[in-house]
């Protein structure tokens, strides 16, 4: 438990920064909605001039865009990008920071198993994401209620907002496996940004192709906001895929970390 609380304390500053960042991004986009809704016809004519592939790539759905939740869906494409970077950053630093900061030998001489170390660090990172999302979802609901032009479903808002958390869990798992497989990560942020943006652009390309199967290549496309708005639910096949990615990545991380040689200073 000491490791858990130590890690949670270490993540405190970054948790606050990322939580505030997500809220500010939401506030920035949602503050535009009243003007957007007021001149809906003009904006619709303008956006119809964009190629359909471009609209799909950046998450513009003209059918829902001019409702409060539809506009929020567009904002989510950027909010999830920020959230994914936070999660990837946490996952990648879980183990790699001990090697980078030359504290691995000190930690591994303590009377705790490697499994306990990984579990404590993983729970601390998970807790950080939970705290971030609780505050973020509450803030998103408040912001939406302030800028709305008509009533909206709070349940749908929460379902849409939770996609950020689910995508974060996937990138947290990917970050963990990366941190135990790569011998030494010199810059966590560089690795996190390159990985997240690679999947983000892969998702954009899959959206332009229109092929359903390519959505499985990028976690950013596992949650179709138009589907959520219509059915008030997530797509089962993509939820299962995301769960498999998380479980396999975490199990592999435990296996590799318990077997690998950790070089002392």
User: For position 59, what pLDDT does the model report?
Assistant: 66
Average pLDDT across the chain, whole number: 84
pLDDT at 104 over 60: no
Is residue 264 domain-resident? no
Is residue 265 domain-resident? no
- Would you give the DSSP letter of residue 62? T
- Could you tell me the pLDDT band of residue 108, with boundaries at 50, 70 and 90? low
**Rounded to an integer, what distance in angstroms lies between the CA atom of residue 14 and that of residue 169?**
17
Residues contacting 72, CB < 8 A, separation 6+: 29, 30, 140, 144, 157, 160
User: For position 67, what pLDDT does the model report?
Assistant: 85
What share of the chain has pLDDT > 70, as a percent?
84
User: For position 111, what pLDDT does the model report?
Assistant: 61
Indicate the number of domains in the chain: 1
- Could you tell me the pLDDT band of residue 27, with boundaries at 50, 70 and 90? very high
- Could you tell me the pLDDT band of residue 109, with boundaries at 50, 70 and 90? low
Distance of CA 178 to the CA centre of its chain: 16
Helix ranges restricted to H, 49-187: 52-57, 68-100, 104-108, 114-147, 154-181
Farthest CA pair distance, the chain = 67
User: For position 70, what pLDDT does the model report?
Assistant: 86
pTM score, whole prediction? 0.89
- What's the whole-number mean pLDDT along residues 106-129? 79
pLDDT at 150 over 60: yes
- Could you tell me the pLDDT band of residue 62, with boundaries at 50, 70 and 90? low
Is residue 174 domain-resident? yes
For residue 263, what are the CA distances in angstroms to 98, 100, 130? 10, 11, 33
What share of the chain has pLDDT > 90, as a percent?
42
pLDDT at 41 over 80: no
- What's the whole-number mean pLDDT along residues 39-51? 69
User: For position 54, what pLDDT does the model report?
Assistant: 64
Residue 206 has a CB neighbour count (10 Å cut-off) of: 21
In this structure, are residues 168 and 84 in contact, taking their beta carbons and an 8 Å threshold? Answer: yes
> For residue 154, what are the domain limits?
2-259
For residue 13, what are the CA distances in angstroms to 112, 135, 255? 27, 15, 30
User: For position 213, what pLDDT does the model report?
Assistant: 82
255 vs 52: which has the higher pLDDT: 255
pLDDT at 46 over 80: no
User: For position 87, what pLDDT does the model report?
Assistant: 95
For the chain, the distance separating the N- and C-terminal CA atoms, rounded to the nearest angstrom, is: 25
- What's the whole-number mean pLDDT along residues 148-166? 91
Residues in the chain: 265
| Residues 201-251: tens digit of each pLDDT | 888 887 777 677 888 889 998 998 888 988 889 999 999 999 999 999 999
In this structure, are residues 159 and 232 in contact, taking their beta carbons and an 8 Å threshold? Answer: yes
29: Cα within 13 Å, side-chain hemisphere? 20
Is residue 71 domain-resident? yes
């Amino acid at each position: 438990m000491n490791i858990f609380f130590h890690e949670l304390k270490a993540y405190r500053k970054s948790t606050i920064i990322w939580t505030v960042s997500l809220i500010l991004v939401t506030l920035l986009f949602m503050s535009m909605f009243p003007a957007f809704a007021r001149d809906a016809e003009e904006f619709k004519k303008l956006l119809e001039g964009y190629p359909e592939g471009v609209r799909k790539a950046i998450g513009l759905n003209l059918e829902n865009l001019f409702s409060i939740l539809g506009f929020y869906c567009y904002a989510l494409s950027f909010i999830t990008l920020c959230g994914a970077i936070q999660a990837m950053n946490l996952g990648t630093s879980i183990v790699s920071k001990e090697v980078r900061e030359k504290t691995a030998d000190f930690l591994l001489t303590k009377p705790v198993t490697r499994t306990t170390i990984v579990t404590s660090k993983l729970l601390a990172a998970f807790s950080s994401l939970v705290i971030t999302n609780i505050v973020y979802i509450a803030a998103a609901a408040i912001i939406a209620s302030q800028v709305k032009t008509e009533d909206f479903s709070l349940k749908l808002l929460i379902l849409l907002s939770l996609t950020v958390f689910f995508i974060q869990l996937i990138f947290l798992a990917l970050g963990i496996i990366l941190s135990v497989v790569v011998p030494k990560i010199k810059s966590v942020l560089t690795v996190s940004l390159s990985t997240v943006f690679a999947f983000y652009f892969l998702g954009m390309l899959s959206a332009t192709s229109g092929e359903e199967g390519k959505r499985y290549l990028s976690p950013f496309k596992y949650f179709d906001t138009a589907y959520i708005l219509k059915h008030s639910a997530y797509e089962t096949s993509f939820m299962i895929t995301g769960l498999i990615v998380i479980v396999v990545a975490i199990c592999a991380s435990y296996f590799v970390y318990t077997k690998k040689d950790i070089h002392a200073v």
